[in-house]
Amino acid sequence: MREAISQALWEEMERDERVFILGEEVGLWGGTYAVTKGFYDHFGAERIRDTPISEAAIVGAAIGAALTGLRPVAELMTINFAFSAMDHIVNEAAKLHYMFGGQFVLPMVIRTVSGGGRQLGATHSQTPDAVFAHFPGLKVVSPGTPEDAKGLLKACIRSDDPILFIEHATLYQARGEVPEGDYTIPIGVSKIQRSGKDVTLVTYSKMLELSMKAAEKLAVDGIEVEIVDLRTLRPLDMGPVVESFKRTNRAVIVEEGWRSHGVGAEVAARLYEEAFDYADSPIKRVAQKEVPLPYNRALEQLALPQVEDIVQAVKEVM
């Protein structure tokens, strides 16, 4: 997936000279997750800008650049640090277009990394995606496959809206086919990643990988799981989710973040609102335990959703 994201950035920078990258260690070092390795030598210091260690400065500068007609791609080392730039993200980026009556557009992308599982401790391992998806005016995209990552990132860079593009810390090594040539994938469109008739599993990002594994295991027991990958958290495309739920009558939502007020809560509520009469059993959620994520490897894994948790939840709704 690292290469897919890298390709998307490279191709968009080649295609449009207004596109530039800014962030901590993105230039000389090549990016904390090595996504922009080689970019500095090719595109130069003007378009690959190393910044001070100040997330507020990074996002603030990106907003300013976007308002003046450039198309910045800001990189925040992890989503945990986005809290330092929260005011810029939710009070400026998400609202300027609205507050100036549409006189401005903000064609900016904030790329960042979410998720736990790498023993980085409680403050560097969070999955607060739902927090950002709360604000109208900010689009939140979070792909689960290399193909989607490339196509969606290119679409984000070409979009005139401010977008938070959330990658997952343990998906950079994920492998998958990526189509040849230039392509984009529309923002705000969910996708059925696996077809099945018994249960609808709604998920995104890293949990897509776990859900696919759970589906394999459940298939052995004769349970056919349909997996809907949200890909975008805002705007949330419930179409394929509802359509699938109407066929299976059962749903499990799998997210890596905490359960309370999370993505699962939103999806479940919408399913009850839009398809109550199709439910055959209560909708279940699989999510992170409600604790700060432990550093200890064993405890960390216990707190994060596991394949077995998903299998169990699916069996419970059957």
Partner 1 sequence: MADIVTMPKLGFDMVEGTLVRWVIAEGEKVAKGTVLAEIETDKATVEVETNYNGIVHKHLVSQGSVVPVGQPIAVIAAPGEQVDLGQLSLEGGIKPAVSPKQTAQLNQHVTAEEILPDQGFLPGGVKTSPVARRMADERGVDLKGIHGSGPGGRIVKKDIESYLTHPSVPQPVLAPLGVEPQTESTDLVLPLNRLRAVIGRRMTQSKQQVPHFYVTHEYDVGRMLELRSQFNNLLLENERISVNDFIVKGVAQTLRQFPNLNASLVDDKIRQHGQVNIGVAVTVEGGLLTVVCREADRKPLRQIAMEIRSMTERARHGKVRPEDVEGSTFTVSNLGMFDVENFAAIINPPETAILAVGTAREVAVVVNGEVKPGLRMKTTISVDHRVSDGAEAAHFLQALSVYIHEPLRLIL
C-alpha dihedral over 288, 147, 141, 312, to 10 degrees?
-20
Would you name the residues annotated as active-site residues? 55, 124
Within positions 160 to 199, which residues make up the interface with partner 1, using CB under 8 A? none
Letters for 264-283 (x = contact with partner 1 by CB under 8 A, - = none) are ------------xxxxxx--
168/206 Cα distance (integer angstroms): 6
CB of 190 to partner 1, least distance (A): 22
83/21 Cα distance (integer angstroms): 20
Q: Both tokens of residue 221?
A: 């027991």
Asked whether the beta carbons of 24 and 50 are under 8 A apart, the reply is yes
Size of the site for partner 1 (CB under 8 A): 7
By CB under 8 A, tell whether 32 contacts partner 1. no
CB of 246 to partner 1, least distance (A): 9
Q: Both tokens of residue 6?
A: 């890298």
Within positions 63 to 122, which residues make up the interface with partner 1, using CB under 8 A? none
State which residue, 54 or 249, has the beta carbon closest to partner 1.
249
By CB under 8 A, tell whether 10 contacts partner 1. no
Within positions 55 to 74, which residues make up the interface with partner 1, using CB under 8 A? none
State which residue, 55 or 198, has the beta carbon closest to partner 1.
198
DSSP letters, 160-206, are SS-EEEEEETTTTT------SS-----TT--EEEE--SSEEEEE-TH
Among 32, 249, 301, 306, binds partner 1 (CB under 8 A): 249
Peptide bond into 294 cis (omega under 30): no
Q: Both tokens of residue 41?
A: 């030598």
Interface contacts to partner 1, rule CB under 8 A: 249, 276-281
